[in-house]
């Protein structure tokens, strides 16, 4: 866990995990509660948190891509696309981010 907090790739992986979880909570729990039971309180609470994590993921992805010299056409766009698709950040973490050398 300490390694995730001390390296830029580690922080990107951690933010990706949190962003993916927040998206699943938002889409799987909060939005159904909002529309099925007319209770938007969870969307109001989780929505801004997810938005902040989304922005942090995008900014950290761009920072790591510049520092690691990723080619946009082969790696960067896949990682950026992952934060839009449910379960995408988990897939990208396993297939790309976990294999990167930590700095």
Torsion of CA 89, 92, 98, 103, to 10 degrees: -80
> Which pLDDT does position 102 carry in this prediction?
61
Whole-prediction pTM value? 0.87
Task: Annotate 41-86 with three-state secondary structure.
Answer: HHHHHHHHHHHHHHHHHHHHHHHHHHHCCCCHHHHHHHHHHHCCCC
What pLDDT does 1 receive? Answer: 60
- How far is 79 from 88, CA to CA, in rounded Å? 8
Question: Residue 71: its pLDDT value, please?
Answer: 86
Compute mean pLDDT per 10 residues along the chain, 103 residues long, and list them.
76 92 94 95 96 95 90 87 89 87 62
């Amino acid at each position: 866990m300490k390694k995730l907090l001390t390296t830029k790739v580690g922080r990107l992986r951690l933010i990706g995990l949190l962003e993916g979880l927040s998206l699943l909570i938002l889409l799987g729990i909060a939005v159904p509660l909002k529309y099925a039971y007319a209770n938007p309180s969870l969307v109001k609470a989780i929505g801004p948190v997810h938005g902040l994590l989304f922005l942090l993921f995008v900014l950290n992805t761009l920072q790591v891509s510049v520092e690691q010299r990723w080619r946009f056409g082969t790696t960067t766009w896949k990682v950026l696309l992952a934060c839009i698709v449910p379960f995408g950040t988990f897939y990208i973490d396993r297939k790309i981010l976990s294999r990167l050398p930590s700095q």
